[in-house]
């Protein structure tokens, strides 16, 4: 392994460690932000305040409404939409994760994918470098 590749591998590891630290910190920040939401919303509502401007930012309440199938029961939700005259919202679907798992099984078994997939189903195989913390030999370089 040349010095350039070793340097690249070391940089990859360093960036992976930094990324994981940043992601962990981001989770902490998001949790703290969530914990501050309710008290701020309560204060603003109780005080009749629409927005708070400080330190170059404006805090304001944003109301969003979302609808989805109760307990993930798509068939029942679709039936309710059709009864309500909203059949235009009902579409046949498939689960991409389930399909991907099936495709991986077929490929691992050396099976051909159905001809009907051509031009309709995109199959993408991605190879990338990942890093995990070594269980042993943390300081030395090992090629396996």
Q: What is the pLDDT of residue 68?
A: 87
pLDDT at residue 92, as a whole number: 84
Which two structure tokens, joined as six digits, stand for 65? 């409404």
- DSSP-based three-state secondary structure for 52: strand
Ordered per-residue pLDDT tens for the chain, 144 residues = 688 889 999 999 999 999 999 999 999 999 999 999 999 999 999 999 988 998 889 999 998 898 889 998 888 999 999 999 999 999 888 889 999 999 999 999 999 999 999 888 999 989 887 777 777 655 665 555
Confidence (pLDDT) at 128: 82
> Rounded to two decimals, what is the model's pTM?
0.67
Q: Which residue has the tokens 């070594």?
A: 134
* Residue among 90, 143, 128 at smallest CA distance from 12: 128
User: Is 40 buried (19+), middle (13-18) or exposed (0-12) by CB count in 10 A?
Assistant: middle
Domain segments of the chain: what residues?
1-62
85 CB neighbour count, 10 Å cutoff: 7
């Amino acid at each position: 392994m040349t010095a350039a590749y070793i340097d690249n591998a070391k940089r990859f590891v360093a960036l992976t460690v930094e990324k994981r630290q940043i992601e962990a910190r981001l989770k902490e920040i998001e949790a703290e932000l969530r914990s501050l939401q309710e008290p701020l919303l309560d204060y603003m509502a109780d005080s009749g305040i629409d927005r708070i401007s400080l330190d170059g930012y404006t805090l304001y309440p944003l109301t969003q409404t979302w609808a989805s199938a109760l307990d993930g029961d798509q068939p029942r939700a679709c039936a309710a939409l059709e009864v309500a005259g909203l059949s235009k919202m009902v579409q046949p679907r498939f689960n991409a994760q389930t399909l991907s798992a099936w495709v991986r099984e077929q490929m691992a078994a050396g099976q051909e994918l159905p001809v009907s997939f051509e031009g309709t189903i995109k199959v993408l195989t991605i190879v990338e470098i990942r890093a995990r913390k070594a269980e042993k030999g943390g300081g030395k370089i090992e090629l396996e």
